[in-house]
Structure 1
Amino acid sequence: MNSKKAVFYTSLAASLLLISIGVFAPKQLEKFSNSSLSFIYNNLGWFILGSVFIFFAFCMYIGLSKFGQIRLGDDDDRPEYKTATWIGMLFSASIGISLVFWGVAEPVSYYIDPPFGKASSEQSAKLAMQFVYLHWGVSAWACYALVGVSLAFFQFRKKLPSSLSSVFHPLIGDRISGSAGKAIDVMVILSIVIGIATSLGFGTLQVNSGMNFLWGIPMNITTQAIIVIVVTFIYVGSTVSGLQGAMKNLSNLNMILAFALLGFVLFLGPTQSIFKIFFQGVGDYVQNFIGMSFRTEPYNDGSWIASWTLFYFGWWIAWAPLVGSFVARISRGRTIKEFMMGAVFIPVLGSFFWFAVMGGSAIHLIQNMGEKALATAVSTDVTSALFKFFEYFPMSSFLSILAMVLVLVFFITSANSAVFVLGMISENGNPNPAHRTKIIWGVVIAAISVVLIMTGGLSGLQSALVATAVPLAVLMLVMCYSTYKGLNEELFNMSEKKNKELKEKKAIPEKTAL
């Protein structure tokens, strides 16, 4: 794979093969994916949990240690985006659409089916928020931050191409431009394509569910295909317009819409209970973080952990190349300490509060107000859970429409960032990929989504994505060592440069005196 187009053509061929399998053998794909996933859960669950904890520990170490002073760029570089816009882009490019989808459904699911103890009880209500916070907390963002900080350091500080293979330069040197580096980039591209295609598919189902709930529009492949096509035109168009314009504006719009929806539910709902749930949940999460992070349930079948915790952790690892690459792209000029504090903790607090408002309110309605029908609705169809929840509020139709618009905008920004990253990697790290490349990837992602919705293969591909978490986790563990080695060399170079400058300053007066 020495051609400049090798990464693009190889990954494109693999993506088209995936579409073909989805069309002609969806059941076989799902069966193979599920069996692979089952094998991983039963034999390598401990490895996934341990890897994610190592990623978090490594991020905290380099952020709070002597490495934190290193800037992701030249010493005189400063952040390209304002902090508020940067945070908005972090949300938009990663988990925004998932927060909307699972905001009500996941806490209620844990409430009626807890990891242990009595279901639909005060204990299960506390456990619901505690484990939601585990799955969406610092563990998830550490996966993104690791890839993001590593790539940003080698791209902006060491002036290497914008490809994940560049991160391994301290270990394999210039071979990152050869077959080894290209193989890494192809694997990363496939994980990004699968990840964004499944996200696009599930987002389409939720939008269609909302349209059906509000206006009776049928839930069928025709409606879903139209949604995908319209969204594809928008996100490809916004990608072609460039980061500074479309992505910045869409991210800011995202934040405004999210705050509006959050504000409506917060002030029209059980406000006092929401704040109590938030603080209780954060306290339980912090107190039990270590135990939950290593919970493997070796003395029973471990089905709950496999279905939720391992699935989520595998999902975050699988999404790390996409989100990490985009986060790196928008983080030039920040110090490593600033990057880690912003990219790990601020989005986590935002996610926690979102779940307290949405999920906490839903549990309050069920547990304290006796609205058991909401729990039944969630267990019956998670895609309609949010819209069923809004029925308990004034202006429910307005809230549902606002939620659908928010899903669509998150939809567009997630796909937008994915297409941009795919373009960068496909063109060997080109920070400004050609429009043609981005358009091709945009069409491929849309095609995979439509094919999988048509054939019912979404869950199979979702399982396949999580199954890729094991090789990616290995790659990311090696990334930790490579980044550490690179940072050490950079500190040494900075020290040598500083000493040289001090010697030159001292030498100037001596020459003047002579």
Structure 2
Amino acid sequence: MNKFTNMFWTSLTIGVLFVIWGVLFPEHLLSVMTTTKNQVLNTFGWFYQFCVALFFIGALVIAFSRFGQIKLGKEGETPEYSRPTWFAMLFSAGMGIGLIFYGVAEPMTHYESPPYGESGTIEAAKLGLKYSYLHWGFSAWAVYSVVALTLAYYKFKKDKPGLMSTTLYPVIGDRINGPIGKLVDITAVFATLFGVAISLGIGSSQINGGLHYMFGIPNNYGVQLVIMLVTMVLFITSAATGISKGIKILSNTNLILAGFLLLSFLVLGQTQFVLELYSATFGSYVQDLIHMSFRFTPFQEDSNQWIKDNTIFYWSWWVAWSPFVSTFIARVSKGRTVREFILTVVIAPAVVCTLWFGVFGGNALFLDYVQGLDVAGQSLENSLFFVMEQLPFSGLLSIAGIILISTFFITSADSAIFVLGMQTSNGSLNPPFFVKLSWGIILTAIAAILMWTGGIGGLQAATIIAGLPLAVILLIMGAGLIKVFRTDMMKQKKKKDQHAA
């Protein structure tokens, strides 16, 4: 109990100090974070690139190796949730609100400012979709899969606390119980806080944008702060009911609403154009995946900076999100085999994400390039609603979009404070309400401070900085997982041989 108390209060104190720093010295906070972010991008961008590629390759190797038959749980244990519910929860926690915000905005941003070549061309349109697939596809989910697999294995196979430090035991031994282990867990806590703060920031920004677009409500920080405070009450309430009630219900609701919106855009929009464009760009993405995953252009500074500002930002975001998303995925994945787990987590959500960008981005590109409407000129938070306005039943779609943004907002946040509760209560599967309440308030405060000082850019800076030390931890974790898999399978084989003899 003392360990939980120390960990909780230490992390909470640091979080409060960060909020105070932002309130008292906002310009200094923004200056420090911007400078640090630029140094990280310029010095360690290559490191992020290699890390994510290694996770993707490693995940597939593990899935199709002899380790694939290992079960995440004791013999005879069955999965706690059905496949549809399991998929809904991991998808909602994994990327939800970002898809709504960036579904139209990212392809159009790359179309207007491509990684190479001229903007506003057919080639730029294809590149906009291909790089959206890269940033939200197989590589991103591979990061989650390896971290979640490790946490689930230790929790359900070895009955160890669901903490990041626990997974480093094969490499650093009993030092996980000392200052090193505590530092690892605190790093995971703050990576989670900053990573999820982006979701809260873009969620409040887009809800405000939708309300402004539909009803003329002012689009400013004050309204966004009110949105964050209202949703804070809702996601804390949801988290208080536990995974099997509030979070489960909201996750299933998200999947239904997301499916409705996706099908609506596909059927009511340019169906044939979108499907043909998706087929062409998805095939090209798969074909060029290795090249795109390692791409840098050190002789072309502008193109190289594009990679750092876009691809490396996303890699740092997924790394920063991994303690939160992976802990939650691990929590709901008991009873799955390693092969089933990896293939589901890496492939299924990634294909859905690419289809999402193909449908939303494809319709937006048609409107802009073919019909001459200025979709690319819309703000990030308004671009989705601008495209909706061009479709039949635009009012209904806009309302459904705002509801979906809100439910994804709540689901991401309640999952996050549940995970933060686990991380600061010695890995408890059911952390106390007071712990979840405290993290809900701190999470909202950090998102509000970062939005106030630097907007979306301030949130991105925090994520890039927080992701760097965590990336090192994740590499050590992956190496430890392979080591413990080999050791455990050798023990199991030896036991079977002795039994046979």
Name the CA distance, whole Å, in 2 between partners of 1:390 and 1:133: 22
Structure-1 residue corresponding to 2:20: 20
Report the equivalent of 1:109: 109
In the alignment, structure 1 residue 136 sits paired with structure 2 residue 125: no
Q: Residues of 1 paired with 2:20 and 2:456: CA distance? A: 14
2:68: which partner in 1?
68
After TM superposition, the structure 1 = structure 2 runs for residues 252-331 of structure 1, keeping only pairs within 5 Å, are 252-301=252-301, 302-331=304-333
1:364 to 359, 363, 366: 366
Distance 1:161 1:453, change over 3 A: same
Counterpart of 2:31 in structure 1 is 31
Q: CA deviation at 1:183?
A: 1.3
* 1:506 alignment partner in structure 2: none
Residues of 2 paired with 1:361 and 1:108: CA distance?
10
User: SS of the counterpart of 1:72?
Assistant: coil
1:183-239 superposed Cα distances (whole Å, 9 cap, x missing partner):
111111111112222321221011011111111112234422321122111111111
Stretches of structure 1 that go unaligned for 5 or more consecutive residues are 504-514
Q: 2 CA distance for matches of 1:18 and 1:314?
A: 20
Give 2:338's match in structure 1, choosing from 336, 340, 354: 336
Cα distance in structure 1, aligned partners of 2:458 and 2:221? 18
Q: Where does residue 430 of structure 1 map in the other structure?
A: 428
2:258 and 2:212 map into 1 onto residues whose CA distance is 22
Task: Look up the match of 2:174.
Answer: 174
Code of the residue aligned with 1:433 in structure 2: it is P
Say whether 1:189 aligns with 2:189.
Answer: yes
**CA-to-partner distance for each residue in 1:337-357, whole Å, 9 max, x for gaps?**
000000000001100110111
Matches within 5 A, 1:47-126: 47-126=47-126
Higher CA-based Rg: 1
Per the normalisation by structure 2, the TM-score is: 0.97
Post-superposition offset of 1:2 = 7.4
Which residue identity does 2:494 align to in structure 1?
E
Find the residue that maps to 2:375 and give its secondary structure: helix
Taking the aligned partners of 2:356 and 2:166, their CA distance within structure 1 comes to 36
Q: Deviations over 1:350-404 (max 9, x none)?
A: 0011011100111011122222x22222xxx111111111111111121111111
Offset, 1:456:
4.1
Code of the aligned partner of 2:103 = G
SS at match of 1:468: helix
1: CA distance, partners of 2:45 / 2:397: 39
Deviation at 1:454, TM superposition (A): 3.7
Structure 2's unaligned 5+ residue stretches are: none
Q: Which amino acid aligns with 2:336?
A: R
Paired position in structure 2 for 1:355 = 357
> Is 1:472 paired with 2:474?
no
**CA RMSD, 1 decimal:** 1.5
Tell me what 1:250 maps to.
Answer: 250
Amino acid at match of 1:396: S
User: 1:259 and 1:362 mapped to 2: Cα distance?
Assistant: 18
Distance change >3 Å, CA 453–CA 130, structure 1 → 2: closer
Question: How far apart in 2 are the matches of 1:3 and 1:41?
Answer: 35
CA contact (8 A) 2:165 2:176 kept: yes
8 Å CA contact 1:422, 1:438 repeated in 2: yes
Aligned length: 499
Name the structure 2 match of 1:440.
438
How far, CA to CA, are the matches of 1:431 and 1:500 in structure 2?
36
Query: Do 2:30 and 2:454's aligned partners in 1 also have CA atoms closer than 8 Å?
Result: no
Match of residue 453, structure 1, among 441, 446, 451: 451
Aligned position for 1:507: none
Q: Say whether the 8 Å CA contact 1:48–1:313 is kept in structure 2.
A: yes
Instruction: Say if 1:37 and 1:466, in contact at 8 Å, map to a contact too.
Output: yes
Amino acid at match of 1:439: L
Amino acid at match of 1:473: A
